[in-house]
Amino acid sequence: MSSPLLPLDASRGDPECLLGLSSNRSLSSHGPLWLGVSLVVTGASAAAFNIFADWPLSVMMNRCWTNYACVLAALWAILMLTAKLFKVRVQCRALDATDLLPRRTDFILSPATAPEVLARINGRAVRPREFLVFNRLWSALSNLGNIGEVRDVGAVLESQADSDASALESSYTAIRALIWTVPVFGFIGTVIGLGDAIGNFQAVLTQDSGDASSIRDSLSPVIAGLATAFETTLVALVLAVIVQLYSTFVYKQELGLLDRVETYCHDHVITRLRLMDPR
């Protein structure tokens, strides 16, 4: 005898719920929460780089404050994307529920049988409306008594699909802003480094001593300024590429989830639905 399935819970597997936030069917992540985590991690990294200041990576990171600003923005975006990825996996669990509709081939979904399916949904999840697929099924099935044609049910599902897609796009507003911010910080570091290099080079040109050793010592700050300019650019570009690629990966996972939800609703609702045409 097979053991009964445990009810699905949208908070199980969601890292934000582990940190005290409530779950919902939105795929958006909690920005302020991950900003706080990013500040702590970036601060700890800065302390470590200052302790081990002789490391080549520490020397590069400590050249300008913009490097840490880039790390903060990139880490913030990565944590938000990771939270979204976990939410996608939580939502995918509901798509594996194959016991919502009776397995009988002659089963017809109608206003008379819809309450049975709704009861199955209630028994399958703790808070079913927090799952994208269950929310769409609930929106369509709970109104079958007031809907006259199958195409009207399709319109309800399509409207909910558009709402979910719009929510998905809105959830990337902050992430896309952070991706844009990372190279901007790098450009600021470049300007700071070039400014220091030009200022110090002017001092070299105006010095009276023609001694080679003196000129070499005077050129050291110029070289340091150029190093700051190029290394801040390098840090920003590398982090921007990493975040952009990760964002694209997570975005494709979310689009795939929405496609699976739409296919699920079509296969389990539209194709098995029978309604009487209004007279």
- pLDDT number for residue 229: 84
CB 161 within 8 A of CB 258: yes
What six digits make up the tokens of 182?
């990372």
pLDDT confidence bin for 155, thresholds 50/70/90: confident
Tens-digit pLDDT profile for residues 48-103: 999 998 888 888 888 889 999 999 999 999 999 999 999 999 888 888 766 677 76
Give the up-direction half-sphere exposure of residue 224: CA atoms within 13 A in the CB hemisphere.
13
More confidently predicted of 113 and 48: 48
pLDDT confidence bin for 279, thresholds 50/70/90: very low
More confidently predicted of 237 and 125: 237
CB atoms within 10 A of CB 226: 17
Instruction: Look at residue 200 and tell me whether its pLDDT is greater than 70.
Output: no
Distance CA 86, CA 88 (A): 5
- Domain spans of the chain? 28-272
